[in-house]
Structure 1
Amino acid sequence: MEPFVTPVVGRETEQSILSSFVTSAEGRALVLRGETGVGKSALLGHVAEQARSAGYRVIRATGVEAESNLPFAGLHQLLYPLLPHVERLDAVHRVAFDVVFGRSHEAAPSVMALGIAVLDLVTTAAPSKGLLLMLDDGQWLDPASTEICGFVGRRLAGNAVKLVVALRPEGSSGFDSAALPELPVPPLDGSAAARLLDERHPRLDPEVRRRVLDEAQGNPLALMELPPYLSGQAGERAAREPSGHGVVPLPDRFRQVYGARIAPLGPDQRAELLRGALDGVHAGAATGLTRAARYRMQGVEEAAAAGLLDLDPAGGEFVFRHPLVRSTVVLSATPNERRSAHAALARVHRDDVERRAMHLAAATVDPDEEVAAALEEAAASATRRGGAAAAVTWLTRAAELSETSGDRSRRLGDAAFVAGQAGLLGQVQRLVDADRAPSGPDSAASVLVSAYAALYEDGDVRSSHRQVAAAVERLRDGGAAGPGEELTRLVNLLLAISQYAGADAWARTHPLLDSLGELLPAKSRIYQDAWSDVVRRGAGVHERVAQAYAAFPNLDPWDITRLGVAAYHVDTLGQYRSHLLRRVERELRTGAVMNGMTMLHLIMLDQTASGDWAAAERTGQRVLELTTAHGNTLFAHQSRAYLALLAALRGDLGRARELQAVVDRWARPRRIGFLVQIADAAATAAALSEGDYEAAYLCAIGITAPGTFEPGAHQAARTVLDLVEAALHTGRARQARRHALAAQEAGLPEVSPRLALITFGALAMTAGDDEAEGLFRRAETHPGAADFPFELARVRLAHGIRLRQGRGPRAAREVLRQAAEAFAELGTEAWAERARTELRACGAPAPHSAANPAALTWQEQRIAELAAGGLTNKEIGERTHLSPRTVSSHLYRVFPKLGVTSRAALRDALAAVPSAPGPGGAA
């Protein structure tokens, strides 16, 4: 029996484009998009023949609904024929494949790491003439595989590898945002449709022919399949229906056609077809599939004779003629028949953890602890491999099948935890509703998911803190034997809530956690000390963080992030940025999305601290877009707070104040102290940037009073230099000195390198001449000082001013030159101009303040381009959602950066420089 293939008729344009695609010397990707039955598979066949004739090796895979929730199932299918070449790769790439294909329990690689490994594999495996990867029904590929295929497809230029993906337009697919070139496949025109119909069904009754052409509307599959149906007894009713396209939608008509062929089959054949359909047996040739992992239909010759199946010439197996045959088989079966088929398939896949669990879940109706445990195991496997969404689904089903309310609640808690980390807050809320009975609203699972929703969607730190604290107390008083998963998750969530809430929450949290004794996990103690108050609890934290990070890569992704937050608080984040970069893309694309958002926040913070401000802004804009898209209101405002602080440092004062005001209006009424303090810090930095020291002082003392460090005020230690400098410039020398001494007495230099730099700098600024020089040198030569270029430049500027006033201009020139160059490199024009002014006062030539287009923020460049196009400030404001006054403020800073003095000169200045990076972040 020959396999069924829709003939290629009337596709001259598409065939010409595809032929050029094959013969092009460069590797690239192409997406064919068209409705069901329009002939995409036939065009794939044409591409395959063209490629084989040109010497290509061709590998063809097909997405199927049954595997759409199995992480990396599609990728495994596509790459299976190439796996022997994995041994030729380096060790890192071999491990990546072992993890995603279930041969290793190492931590899952990021999308970027796995994508690069796949690129390496296909390039290594490609013969000299080239390799063509073909993917049919790509809309059903699992999300993890879709991301990798999109990543690879965008990077094939220059390789001897090509990728073609066929998609249906209905529904959404991960390929929709993959940014791959597309070739639309429309229905055939009237002439080509008539020619195809006459070739395949000559001597057709004229009325039936007219009816087929009318209903098919140029769809090749309909032209092939409708004539026997409309001509036969099964189609008599259809033939009596009113004529006109759309009376019966084509997918429904196809199901009628195939249903009429299924109905006469005996029960054994229908059962065999059902098992094949539910296990994802493909339509068309199965070239390159993992045959041992697929159900083989037996004794289905009658179904093949009825036009439901084809014979795969490569492997001699029966495959479905079209995906709609497969779905029709499933829809025509009774619920009991489907459950029986799933049970049989679970036995077939007894050695495949995830497939067996998937089928057991579908086969089971009543609570069954064995099936629930199998689903738990499958969820753990999916989580390790980056399939958080599948893990949530399986854990939720495991909860439904649990035999006791305790197990049900525990599994719902596990599902809620993974869903919360994955940013699936809507699913979290559904889990809350699911756990209200019989385990009750006070169960750990209900508390966990309720608190997630309250905290991240609404910023409700007060009620979420009460809920979680009460749940921790119940577990403690219930005689918990050790720090189990429920307690650990609740404690860590309580710590996160307390960090956002601030001092009042910490005053309640510390005694509760102290009462847990040995029940409190060691890593949670690190989080408690680092997140709450580094002034009082920060000594030695950086060593404990380093010891905990030594377990990488065996740490859970959420512990990598929590330890990263701890490292931020003690200013050692730069040591661990590589760990975050290694994981962040995987978390964002296929795993714990909220965890990935926090990783982006941390990466941005480290970029800011290290002076890579352009990259920090790109990262900040990217995470703001992500948090907004996921409805995570708390994280969105946190992103704005960090962007406000960054804008203030750069001197982008209009934007800084707008963002700061948005954050303050939202966070202050909710008493989210963490964000309020960052907003105050941004306001302080903005005032310092423009030299408004009185405003800077008032903002700084809003964080903490001079000479004190408010408990739980995480910005109190970070703004030592700000308060001291603002106090000195406003004649408050006594308050400045008291605050610098308080920082020393609190032991801040021992907590972190940054705090050592700013504490010694503050002491030097407030000390007498005899003592100041040694303190300045101690600050500037501290081993970690160079890692914080903005703070170091500020200390040098203060040092240079003191030297000029005390020892004369010559002594001050070098340190002032270093400060001016550092500020200029950072792109903070106001600070750079202060340093240049001091240099000129010393009689030294200041570094030239030439146009510095690279220092333009993305917002400044956008506004400059609009202004160059002739728009008024009001019109620009309407486009950018800014006030005309803020637009004017942006342009005021853009002109000197570009070295122009008028709008008329903007166009030429912008044309002479490369465009600034956009806000979207890396691909």
Structure 2
Amino acid sequence: MVTSECVGRERELSELQARFDTSTGPDLVLVRGEAGIGKTTLLARLTRLHQDRRDTGRTLWAQAAPWETANAGGILGQLIQDAGPSGDTDPVDVLGTLLDEVEPTLIVIDDAEHADAESLQSLISLTRTHRSLRFLIVAAMTHATMPLADLLTDQIHLTGLDTTAVAELAATRGLALHPTMVDILTRHTGGNPRAVIALFDELPSSVWSSAHQELPAPSYVVDDIRARLAACSAPARSLVEALAILDDADTLDTAVTLAEIDVDPLSAMDEALASGLVVDPVGLTPAETQPHLADSMVQTAILEVMGVRAVGDAHRRAASIVTDPARRLHHQVAATPTADPALADDLDRLAQQRGAEGAWAEAAELFRQAGRLTADPLLHDVRVTKAADALLAAGDCVGAGALVPLVESLRETPMRNATLAYLAILRGRSAEARVRLDRAWSIVNFEREPDTAAVIAQRYVLHNLVRCQGSELVQWADRAIAMAGSQSPAGIEAAAIRGLGLAWSGHPDEAVAEYTSLTDRIKFGAQAQRATMGRGWLELGLDDVDAARSHLETAVSMANLGGSRRISLWALGWLARVQFLTGDWDPALLSVEQGRAIARTSGIELATPLLNWTATQIHSLRGNWDDAERSIAEASTGIGDYEIMRIPAVLARAHLAEAAADYGKVRRTLEPLVHMAQDVPALAEPGWWPWVDVLANALVVDGHLDAADNLLSSYEDRIAERGHRSAGARVKYARGRLLGATGDINAARRTFDEALELLDGLPLRYDLARVNFAYGQTLRRAGKRRAADAVIGTAREIYLSLGATTYVERCERELKAGGLTTSRVDPDRVGLTPQEEAVTALVARGLSNREVAAELYISPKTVQYHLTRIYAKLGLRSRSELAASLR
């Protein structure tokens, strides 16, 4: 029996175990999957788990073989062999004696497609004639050739392992895979464990530490393909080999021409399909036929069987057939093993063209190939550097990072420093990026290298973007555009960011006009993704929430049209914020997970704190404290020194503390932002980072009223000048809290009403709930219980719709403390007032007087007063006795 590690099958194991545990009689389930997918390993793991349990019956195992299919009763014989000789006794009756009505039995049949029909029929009959016995039959099958597959509707289909499981499988064999190689290996093998393990065994360990390595097919696949090709006729084999050379997008006509099939190509096509090497999922008629090879491993195995010389000849012929310039160059490169200056120049020109269109991933590969074919050392260095730079533009920090040792070994040039600065920016290393940019700017020759100077200026734009510096961003964007022109890649990227700098500099109307013009001018291609994402980010900051959602969703979807993963990552980060504010919290968490996946595979660290801020806020508001803490830990791991990383990390910690009603911690966490805002324009401009109201609220609750007043006063005039509605509502929320705390309830009510009026028409459900909750607490503290109930009831309904259980519970405590709603009083504590009941419940949970005060929005002295009365009424002397009385 196979006993190798069972990785990535937790869901299937849980499903089978659940079937076993809940079964009250006979049950039968079929496990299906391609060869090598791990069926035997899954069954072995299931068997071990069954045998390790004490509350189960026997485990019976059988494995069929092709040569035993005609052996009537063979599988039954394997299952009952431990029962001793059966003589003339019916094997089904013997099997029945091994089963039990109390302790369930597990019956496992591997490779069931080879099992004899008599055994299978007997087992199925057993499930119908022994209904009082508890047993589960699990049969594994690759090909649905037996009646068993048709009889069973309960089937589990095993698919390939995901990247996490592949990495885990590598770890079990002592291998550490480069993140990019995990993705490459998973795609190449389809996650088939047998293929993955075979490549681990057959390739040197150095392969797995590289970032970009083409993988061969496992030897067993090559042997199988060689046999299948040998069985094909000459035309069919030629067609299969032609498809291995061409791209999937090439037509059948191109493949037939390359295969040099002059007569009856459809017969060759039918034979190729019958071999299993070629698939055509959509071709129902000759006109619709779009054949391609079954998978990546089949293609690499065919190329290995063909041999290097034949592959080279085929690529040269393909270069003369295909019409697309990029594909023609691809075939020429594949057929050229040594330096070729003319071909390298062609590749370089096409790479620059693709870069100008924003197709940076394609440009990176073209630059890399151009460097390989370049004999001149200086020109080779330039092209290698451009390849790394293009990978960064595409959002592949991992791939670019693999080239860093090579780039760093090259002679110093402005472009080399600009590329290394680019990588430092995406990794969140502000100091390193500034040093490299300053060095690049100091040595560039503006007359001879205007394009390079423009690239450096555009990197300064990025540097100031993530520093949240508005004026400096605009200045560098203007330099980049002036040097390279508005139509150049550097100019377009600078323009796609410039509007944010304008908004942070206090010119939001100019920013809106600039983005409107830019997106009207650039409507297609990868560059449009940059402009669309920037516009969505701006609209979120300016309260145009619906438009922000539309543009950010568009930017995310444009990744499938040749966009950059870097831009998709930012689009997902800000889309998650939109979804959080509008109350679409489940989609927000999905956006966070998609963004985290891109961040992990790309190596871009800049946006991780932004993603984790949203996740922390949602989890803490829903009371999922462990998940919130994990998000905080992720946000704090390896935080760089850029403001766009530091600010959301601080906000995440503050929101977690606020959800826990630890307002002292909220204050201590956010107070550094007061000083940071003096040097960071985006932090001081309303609408971009919601922190002023959170800090002011904490100051009020913590009793620092003058500090709260000073903080709010320093921002209220600017918010009013900008006319920013949500920021205005937030500071009025905090101002209302402050006015209520000072006893001016009439001014507080006017202020809260103004906040709600500002939010009217904006789809900001979280802010609406937040204002209503604070309004209700303030009214209740002022003795306006009936009015407080109405407002807090509104807050409760919104929080309930969001799933914000943390605040639903607080709303319910407030309503109960108000005394006007129906109270479910414990008969033993009938003498307690609603407020005393609320204090009792919180103290019994272990909260301190200050924490209870923060939860109920009363003073610590009032909490102590209530406790004294509670002890007297209940005849208790301490907090511990109070807690014990409620158990």
Q: TM-score range by the shorter chain?
A: 0.5 to 0.7
**1:839-881 Cα distance to aligned partner (Å, 9 max, x none):** 4455543899xxxxxxxxxxxxxxxxxxxxxxxxxxxxxxxxx
CA change 1:597–1:514 in 2 (3 A) is: closer
Corresponding position of 1:203 = none
CA change 1:420–1:290 in 2 (3 A) is: same
Instruction: Quote the offset at 1:431 in angstroms.
Output: 4.2
Instruction: Quote the offset at 1:463 in angstroms.
Output: 0.6
2:581 paired with 1:609: yes
**1:416-435 Cα distance to aligned partner (Å, 9 max, x none):** 34422444334313544555
Pick from 468, 491, 494 the counterpart of residue 460 of structure 2: 494
CA distance in 1, matches of 2:561, 2:479: 39
Residue type at the aligned position of 2:187: G
Greater shift in the superposed pair: 650-659 or 731-740: 650-659
Residue type at the aligned position of 2:797: E
CA distance in 2, matches of 1:405, 1:556: 36
Alignment of 1:472-511 (within 5 A): 472=441, 477-478=446-447, 490-501=456-467
Instruction: Quote the offset at 1:250 in angstroms.
Output: 6.8
Greater shift in the superposed pair: 801-810 or 418-427: 801-810
Corresponding position of 2:810 = 834
SS of the aligned residue for 1:718 comes to coil
Instruction: Quote the offset at 1:586 in angstroms.
Output: 6.3
Alignment of 1:391-540 (within 5 A): 391-401=363-373, 412=384, 415-433=387-405, 435=407, 440-444=411-415, 446-457=416-427, 459-472=428-441, 477-478=446-447, 490-501=456-467, 518-519=482-483, 521=491, 524=494, 527-528=497-498, 530=500, 534=504, 536=506, 538=508, 540=510
Pick from 280, 283, 291 the counterpart of residue 253 of structure 2: 291
Alignment of 1:238-257 (within 5 A): none
CA distance in 1, matches of 2:421, 2:676: 36
Kindly indicate whether the alpha-carbon contact (under 8 Å) linking 1:345 and 1:359 is maintained by their aligned counterparts in 2: yes
Instruction: Quote the offset at 1:787 in angstroms.
Output: 2.1
CA change 1:610–1:547 in 2 (3 A) is: farther
Corresponding position of 1:687 = 657
2:299 paired with 1:345: no
Kindly indicate whether the alpha-carbon contact (under 8 Å) linking 1:757 and 1:780 is maintained by their aligned counterparts in 2: yes
CA distance in 1, matches of 2:808, 2:272: 74
Instruction: Quote the offset at 1:556 in angstroms.
Output: 3.2
CA distance in 1, matches of 2:688, 2:762: 22
CA change 1:805–1:476 in 2 (3 A) is: farther
Residue type at the aligned position of 2:809: E
Gaps of 5+ in 2: 1-31, 38-158, 164-183, 196-217, 278-297, 825-854, 856-887
Kindly indicate whether the alpha-carbon contact (under 8 Å) linking 2:396 and 2:603 is maintained by their aligned counterparts in 1: no
CA change 1:472–1:706 in 2 (3 A) is: closer
Kindly indicate whether the alpha-carbon contact (under 8 Å) linking 2:690 and 2:727 is maintained by their aligned counterparts in 1: yes
CA distance in 2, matches of 1:326, 1:781: 69
Kindly indicate whether the alpha-carbon contact (under 8 Å) linking 2:385 and 2:407 is maintained by their aligned counterparts in 1: no
Instruction: Quote the offset at 1:580 in angstroms.
Output: 3.7
Residue type at the aligned position of 1:608: F
Residue type at the aligned position of 2:388: A
CA change 1:572–1:318 in 2 (3 A) is: closer
CA distance in 1, matches of 2:391, 2:720: 39
Alignment of 1:651-690 (within 5 A): 651-661=623-633, 663-664=635-636, 666-667=638-639, 670-690=640-660
CA distance in 1, matches of 2:598, 2:222: 38
Residue type at the aligned position of 2:717: E
2:709 paired with 1:740: no
Kindly indicate whether the alpha-carbon contact (under 8 Å) linking 1:531 and 1:569 is maintained by their aligned counterparts in 2: no
Alignment of 1:227-266 (within 5 A): none
Residue type at the aligned position of 2:432: S
Instruction: Quote the offset at 1:389 in angstroms.
Output: 5.2
Pick from 700, 718, 731 the counterpart of residue 670 of structure 2: 700
Pick from 733, 742, 746 the counterpart of residue 761 of structure 1: 733
CA change 1:259–1:837 in 2 (3 A) is: closer
CA change 1:332–1:752 in 2 (3 A) is: same
Residue type at the aligned position of 1:676: R
Corresponding position of 2:693 = 721
CA change 1:403–1:842 in 2 (3 A) is: same
Alignment of 1:639-658 (within 5 A): 639-658=611-630
Corresponding position of 1:174 = 187
CA distance in 2, matches of 1:708, 1:281: 60
CA distance in 1, matches of 2:240, 2:816: 83
Residue type at the aligned position of 1:467: R
Kindly indicate whether the alpha-carbon contact (under 8 Å) linking 2:620 and 2:806 is maintained by their aligned counterparts in 1: no
CA distance in 2, matches of 1:318, 1:676: 58
2:742 paired with 1:788: no
SS of the aligned residue for 2:641 comes to coil
State the percentage of identical aligned residues.
16
| More contact order relative to length (CA 8 Å, sep ≥ 6) | 1
Kindly indicate whether the alpha-carbon contact (under 8 Å) linking 2:728 and 2:755 is maintained by their aligned counterparts in 1: yes
Kindly indicate whether the alpha-carbon contact (under 8 Å) linking 2:623 and 2:806 is maintained by their aligned counterparts in 1: yes
Instruction: Quote the offset at 1:722 in angstroms.
Output: 0.7
CA change 1:729–1:298 in 2 (3 A) is: closer
SS of the aligned residue for 1:757 comes to helix
CA distance in 2, matches of 1:529, 1:318: 56
CA distance in 2, matches of 1:827, 1:331: 61
CA distance in 2, matches of 1:706, 1:580: 28
Kindly indicate whether the alpha-carbon contact (under 8 Å) linking 2:437 and 2:460 is maintained by their aligned counterparts in 1: yes
**1:802-854 Cα distance to aligned partner (Å, 9 max, x none):** 44566933444433322221122222233333333444455543899xxxxxx
Instruction: Quote the offset at 1:727 in angstroms.
Output: 1.6
CA change 1:722–1:517 in 2 (3 A) is: same
CA change 1:33–1:543 in 2 (3 A) is: farther
**1:428-451 Cα distance to aligned partner (Å, 9 max, x none):** 13544555687x33242x334423
Instruction: Quote the offset at 1:780 in angstroms.
Output: 1.2
CA distance in 2, matches of 1:508, 1:281: 51
2:815 paired with 1:845: no
CA distance in 2, matches of 1:709, 1:299: 71
Instruction: Quote the offset at 1:290 in angstroms.
Output: 1.7
Greater shift in the superposed pair: 312-321 or 522-531: 312-321
**1:519-552 Cα distance to aligned partner (Å, 9 max, x none):** 4847636635636983756565345444444454
CA distance in 2, matches of 1:738, 1:814: 31
CA change 1:441–1:844 in 2 (3 A) is: farther
Q: Count how many residue pairs are aligned between Structure 1 and Structure 2.
A: 593
Instruction: Quote the offset at 1:624 in angstroms.
Output: 2.8
Pick from 618, 624, 627 the counterpart of residue 599 of structure 2: 627
Alignment of 1:88-487 (within 5 A): 172=185, 174=187, 277=241, 280=244, 290-292=252-254, 294-298=256-260, 313=267, 327=303, 330-331=306-307, 333=309, 342-349=315-322, 351-364=323-336, 365-369=338-342, 372-373=345-346, 376-377=349-350, 390-401=362-373, 412=384, 415-433=387-405, 435=407, 440-444=411-415, 446-457=416-427, 459-472=428-441, 477-478=446-447
Instruction: Quote the offset at 1:568 in angstroms.
Output: 4.1
